[in-house]
Structure 1
Amino acid sequence: MSELSHLRLMAGYNAWMNEKLYAAAATLPAHELAAERGAFFGSLLGTLNHLVAGDTIWLRRFATHPARFAALEPVLALAPPGALDAIHSDDLAVLAAHRRMLDAMIGAWTTQLSDADLEHVLHYASTKGIASQKRFGDLLLHFFNHQTHHRGQASTLLSQAGADLGVTDLLMLIENVEEQTAPPGIA
């Protein structure tokens, strides 16, 4: 699988898993969503808000790529989160709508990427102001890995609250491949 194909698969996985997370979260009462559970960002709602904040921060950085991806233009109109624990919304429905918008943007953007885009070195500053310069393709791997990491935490928080997320394996999105056999008489 090419690097671009992998990134597009991860964008699809991201959207699929976020739909599952928000659907499971919607089965819980508000007090369960906001309950402190000892996670990095406290509650399930805190974790979901962190994913929105982190994705927004990264997408705004990615929008500075010289390719000026059309799919990322809307992210520049969004207010930048002030911190990694910024709360976009305490209302799950509002947060879910924003999440769907981000996921649609991510999916459209990954179809605009080229191999050459991945080789670009992106210069950016962390939320603490530390300057970095890294290969764009490697930053995208981090972007998707970060989402998976915190969605794993969110799935644990859902389980603690009694909500069943169901199957979460990337394997569910990987297509089966027909086994190729040699024609008769060819060894």
Structure 2
Amino acid sequence: MSLKNSFTLMAQYNQWMNESVYSAASQLSPAALDEDVGAFFGSILGTLNHILVADIIWLQRFAKHPDKFSELDIVMAMSLPKKLDETLFEDIGLLREQRVKVDEAILAFANALSSEVLTTDLSFLDTAGVPHTKNFGQLILHLFNHQTHHRGQITTLLSQRGLDVGATDLLELIPAL
């Protein structure tokens, strides 16, 4: 499987897992979602917001790649978060609507990637304004790894509240040969 195909698989996994996580999280009261439980971003809602914040930041950087990915235009139209712990939405329903749009853009972006573009570099400024130049393919890998890391925290927090998000393994989406 090529790296490009692996990114398409990861985009599908991201979309599938986000739907599972949001379905489970939506069963909680607003107070339970916003309760500070000592997670990196305080609460379940804080962590869900953080994942979306980071995705918007990274996708806006990716959209500035010299190859120009029109699949990310919808994300470019979104306000750029100013900090990693920014609360984009306090309402889980509104957050979920935005999540769905971003996940669709991620999947379209992954499908538009070429093997050649994954070997190029991307120059960007981090949230502190420090310039970086790194391999584009590895930055995309970071996007997916970051999502998985924080979704793992959320699935634990949901499980502690008696909610089951179902299967979480990437293996569930890997096609049989």
TM range, normalised to the smaller chain? over 0.9
Aligned to 1:39: 39
The match for 2:8 is 8
**Normalising by structure 2, what TM-score?**
0.98
Instruction: Tell me if the contact between 1:32 and 1:161 (Cα under 8 Å) persists in the aligned partners.
Output: no
C-alpha distance in structure 2 between counterparts of 1:12 and 1:154, whole Å: 19
Q: State whether structure 2 residue 30 is matched by structure 1 residue 30.
A: yes
Matched residue type, 1:117: V
**Alpha-carbon distance in 2 for matches of 1:8, 1:78:** 23
Q: Where does residue 180 of structure 1 map in the other structure?
A: none
Partner of residue 168, structure 2 = 168
Query: 2:139 corresponds to which letter in structure 1?
Result: L
List, as ranges, runs of 4+ consecutive aligned residues in structure 1 with deviation greater than 3 Å: none
Deviation at 1:105, TM superposition (A): 0.4
User: Aligned equivalents of 1:39 and 1:109: distance in 2?
Assistant: 30
Which amino acid in 2 is paired with 1:96? R
Asked if structure 2 preserves the Cα contact closer than 8 Å seen for 1:119 and 1:137, the reply is: yes
- Normalised TM-score (structure 1): 0.93
Aligned AA for 2:84? L
**Is 1:140 aligned to residue 140 of structure 2?**
yes
- Is 1:61 equivalent to 2:55 in the alignment? no
Matched length: 177
Aligned partners of 1:4 and 1:114 also within 8 Å: yes
1:19-72 residue CA offsets vs partner (Å, 9 max, x unmatched): 000000011111110111110000000000000100000000000011111101
Task: Say what the alpha-carbon RMSD is for the aligned residues.
Answer: 0.7
**1:83 aligns to what?**
83
Structure 1: tracts of 5 or more residues without a match: 178-187
Q: Any gaps of 5 or more consecutive residues in structure 2? A: none
1:48 counterpart letter in structure 2: L
Deviation at 1:161, TM superposition (A): 2.0
